[in-house]
Amino acid sequence: MSLTSAKRLRKEMHKLQTSPPDEDIRMSADEDDIRQWRAYIRGPPDTPFAGGIYELKITVGQQYPMVPPCMRFVTKVFHPNVHFNTGEICLNILKKDWSPAWSLQGACRAILALLAHPEADSPLNCDAGNMVRAGDMRAFRSVARLYNEELASKDWPADF
């Protein structure tokens, strides 16, 4: 791991440990590998994801922060921009619009915004994308809420 990458990750970890807890995001690095992180995000209010806690796996490469981290949902999510089976997330800042100004926590914030505002033009989940593109938000919200109730946690993990 590059010194720049390791230094940046330690700085982000220190900030998380010394700042007041975020109401919507909890994160930690693996004790044995600072490049492996887990994050939990609270579904945004007034969305079908409200009330759910979703787990994300974050893998940070050697060139971080110059290159974005790989972030995937572990918890299955019904959303146009999230692949239902792999958890892959289609979000510009995790690809071509990444900037070293982004932090891991900032990227989690962007994912929360994406949950609240789906982009149906670049779907990884075609069923969800088709519902949103057709304007059938009632169907989309209904299916997303069903998966939220069935698959998302209702409480933060005990170790966070």
The residues annotated as belonging to the active site are 90
Please state whether beta strands 25-29 and 53-59 pair in parallel, antiparallel, or not at all (unpaired). unpaired
Measured at the CA of 47, the angle between CA 44 and CA 49, to 5 degrees, comes to 70
Residue type, 123: P
Q: How far apart are CA 22 and CA 91, in angstroms?
A: 22
Answer for the pair 9, 34: CB distance below 8 angstroms, yes or no. yes
